[in-house]
């Protein structure tokens, strides 16, 4: 059955979205009782304690934060030479040192199956950076970030496969988003791919599915903070994740990542991201994406 689309206004933009989908019906302000009746959304009690508010944004009044009721992801955490990372990061951001001479680059494939702006897939390439205002030992900061499962990063690329996700990311957040064909599958095994120019493959990932661990809701919370510029000023966008089913492996040897010369392949190569430090597979998670807010002290 083919999907039907309808045109909606997003700020000054007109965008096609799924007819009868969450964005078409709720415009980012969902009736959670109605969402709860959607079996695909699962248990949504986590979101009931996070009230939405209509706030000013770059594209006019909007409801925030953004809810992702069902999501999965596959992340490869690479070691990369610090001199390459410093040369890529805009001043005054500083890469967080993991080992002498090396920092961290995260390649993440996301799949959002139920969310406020309809299902889509996304790929992120980001450098793990020091927290704004952090001083002193990199090692202690890294240990604290691991203990709290709270990392800060600067996103270099964030392609998506729907127009509403692209427009919201570019004009609402000023993030480096563009349209690309993306597929993420976490089943009996793990596979993900993104196409580059002219339909040719860019990155293709394959890996066995590690043994998953299911945990009690809200017992394994994670926080990712994106540091980026909005209209020339430094902002942070906080992402909260309620992880429900996950797996993690250090120095995995059976991960195959084919780089075929597309934009993300070239980006990873330019960063010197080669050695995989960790594989993270999240089969099921609930996510809250907050709008960018100015940093209280500009870096």
pLDDT in tens, 14-26: 999 999 999 999 9
Residue 134's domain comprises 71-294
The structure tokens listed for 130 are 């020091």
Residue 52 counted as domain residue = no
| Res 101: pLDDT | 97
CA separation for the pair 261, 124 (Å, rounded): 17
Residue 65 counted as domain residue = no
46: closest CA among 266, 213, 171, 219?
219
Residue 126 counted as domain residue = yes
CATH assignment at residue 274 = 2.40.400.10
| Residue 125 banded pLDDT, cuts 50, 70, 90 | very high
Residue 241 counted as domain residue = yes
Residue 76 counted as domain residue = yes
Tally of domains within the chain: 1
pLDDT in tens, 137-170: 999 999 999 999 999 999 999 999 999 999 999 9
Residue 147 counted as domain residue = yes
At residue 104, what are phi and psi to the nearest 5 degrees?
A: -125, 135
Please state the rounded mean pLDDT for residues 164-184. 95
Residue 46 counted as domain residue = no
DSSP conformation letters of 117-156:
T--EEEEEEEEEBPPTT--S-HHHHHHHHHHHTEEEEEEE
The answer to whether the CB of 99 falls within 8 A of the CB of 128 is no
CA 28 to chain centre: 19
| Res 133: pLDDT | 85
Residue 97 counted as domain residue = yes
CA separation for the pair 254, 244 (Å, rounded): 24
Please state the rounded mean pLDDT for residues 56-72. 93
């Amino acid at each position: 059955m083919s999907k039907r689309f309808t045109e909606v206004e997003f700020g000054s933009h007109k965008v096609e979205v799924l007819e009868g989908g969450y964005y078409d019906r709720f415009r980012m302000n969902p009736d959670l009782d109605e969402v709860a009746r959607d079996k695909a959304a699962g248990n949504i009690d986590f979101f009931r304690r996070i009230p939405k508010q209509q706030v000013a944004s770059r594209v006019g009044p909007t409801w925030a934060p953004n809810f992702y009721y069902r999501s999965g992801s596959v992340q490869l955490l690479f070691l990369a030479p610090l001199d390459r990372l410093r040369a890529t990061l805009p001043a005054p951001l500083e890469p967080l040192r993991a080992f002498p001479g090396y920092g961290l680059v995260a390649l993440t494939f996301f799949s959002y199956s139920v969310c406020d702006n309809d299902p889509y897939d996304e790929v992120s390439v980001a450098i793990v950076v020091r927290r704004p205002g952090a001083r002193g030992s990199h090692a202690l900061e890294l240990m604290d970030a691991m203990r709290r499962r709270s990392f800060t990063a600067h996103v270099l690329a964030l392609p998506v496969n729907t127009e509403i996700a692209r427009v919201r990311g570019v004009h609402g957040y000023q993030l480096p988003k563009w349209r690309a064909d993306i597929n993420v599958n976490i089943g009996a095994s793990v596979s993900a791919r993104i196409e580059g120019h002219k339909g040719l493959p860019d990155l293709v990932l394959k890996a066995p599915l590690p043994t998953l661990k299911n945990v009690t809701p809200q017992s394994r919370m994670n926080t990712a903070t994106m540091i980026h510029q909005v209209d020339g000023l430094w902002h942070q966008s906080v992402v909260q994740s309620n992880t429900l089913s996950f797996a993690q492996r250090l120095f995995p040897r059976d991960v195959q990542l084919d780089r075929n010369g597309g934009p993300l392949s070239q980006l990873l190569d330019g960063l010197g991201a080669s050695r995989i430090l960790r594989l993270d597979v999240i089969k099921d998670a609930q996510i809250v994406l907050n709008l960018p807010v100015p940093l209280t002290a500009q870096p």
